[in-house]
Amino acid sequence: MVQRRLLRSVNDRWLAGVCGGIADYFGWNSDLLRLVWVVLSVCTAFCGGIVYIVLWILMPREGGYQIS
């Protein structure tokens, strides 16, 4: 049994890879998730932006951290 982890995407990203990572974890379309995220953020007085920043900090990056 393969254990999956929720990771920020390195390849499918616009800002930090949070939506790409969530979409990859659940098998969803990342573009559709981004659209839903923006709509919900606007409808909730931009609380989605705060949640995005928290997830950016808490979710590890895919492939780990590398100094280059």
- pLDDT tens track for 20-53: 999 999 999 999 999 999 999 999 988 999 999 9
Identify the band that residue 67 occupies on the pLDDT scale cut at 50, 70 and 90: low
Lowest pLDDT segment from 2-6, 12-16, 52-56:
2-6
Q: Tell me how many domains the chain contains.
A: 1
Tokens of 18: 């949070």
Residue 67 within any structural domain of the chain? no
pLDDT at 68: 47
β-sheet bridge partners, residue 8: 61
Percent of the chain with pLDDT over 70: 93
Residue 65 within any structural domain of the chain? no
- The boundaries of the domain holding residue 27 are 1-60
Check pLDDT > 90 for residue 1: no
Residue 66 within any structural domain of the chain? no
> Read out DSSP for 10-38?
SSS-SSSSHHHHHHHHHT--HHHHHHHHH
